[in-house]
Amino acid sequence: MRYGVVKKGLMKFQQDGPLEFSKVSCRFVYNRAIPEHYRFLQNTYKNYLKNKIKYNSPAKPYRTIYINPTEVENRSFDISISGGLCQVRDGEWDNSAHLDSIDEHTYVKGLYERYKQKKAWEETEYVAYAEKKIDENGERWGCSNVDDFINNRCAYVDEIYEDIKKNGYNPETQSESDNKKYDGRGKYKQELEPLVLISRDGEIIWRDGYHRYAIANILGLSIPVNVLCRHQDWQLHRDEVAKSDDPMHDSHPDLQDVA
């Protein structure tokens, strides 16, 4: 174990006492011992059970909703993906101070430059960012130099774009079963649809899946997404809508299962 970890642990013990130290230690061991995708599955199931007890109209964890990416303005990294789908949280995480413009994301800007402005990959922010990461870490997505990145990663993105342009968007998830399982050997996030958050006012906030967002936005396609987290106020609104006969509620994509 690294010296820095031990030092931080001792400081935590001195500052917060043995009880809090024990809690932090247990979380540390759990996060190191349990792979992220297993924590994701476990937490998704726990979220659903808790929501069924606490709320009148909880959403099924793997139910997807269809959205138009052109209507999304903001992104956020405040909500942990390993916390699982169907999280319900209160707090200020959905306020503007915690959000960034999705159009400023490097992948979104880079793909826009490539497919809307028709730039060569070498002229895009997508490759500039990859070059920076290769200089810092020695590789990016398994590529150890810029030429390798362009010939492999960028060529792969071109293939995805052309396929979606020609054949339409093919959802990653084909089942909405609550018992959906994922192969632990795969990258589980790639087996989900893009992940979004829903604010207290119903705003769709992007969380993960920026390549798919950018391509769908450029091509003007509506796509399915998985809801990672809803603000508690929005979940209470879902409960109210479930008891209402007002047809105006039908317009929001996250109210289709309750209206």
How far is it, in rounded angstroms, from Cα 254 to Cα 64? Answer: 9
Task: Give the pLDDT confidence score for residue 115 in this predicted structure.
Answer: 97
The predicted model gives 54-59 an average pLDDT of 94
For residue 81, the Cα-to-chain-centroid distance in whole angstroms is 6
The pLDDT assigned to 37 comes to 76
Q: Name 87's bridge partners.
A: 229
Please state the domain extents for the chain.
34-255
Choice between 7 and 163, residue whose per-residue pLDDT is larger: 163
Banded model confidence at residue 16, pLDDT cuts 50, 70, 90: low
Q: Which two tokens stand for residue 4?
A: 């820095």
pLDDT in tens, 94-104: 999 999 999 99
Q: What is the per-residue pLDDT across 160-183, written as a single tens digit (0 to 9) for each?
A: 999 999 999 988 765 443 334 333
Q: How crowded is residue 114: how many other Cβ atoms within 10 Å of its Cβ?
A: 23
pLDDT at 39: 83
Cα–Cα distance, 227 to 65 (Å, whole number): 8
Q: Across residues 232-258, what is the average pLDDT?
A: 85
**Is residue 122 over pLDDT 90?**
yes
pLDDT in tens, 179-233: 343 333 335 555 789 999 999 999 999 999 999 999 999 999 999 999 999 999 9
What pLDDT is recorded for position 56?
93
pLDDT of residue 177: 38
The model's pTM is 0.80
Between CA 27 and CA 47 the distance in angstroms is 18
Cα–Cα distance for residue pair 130/192, rounded to 1 Å: 24
Pairing state between β 64-67 and 223-231:
antiparallel
Cα 37 versus chain centre, distance: 13
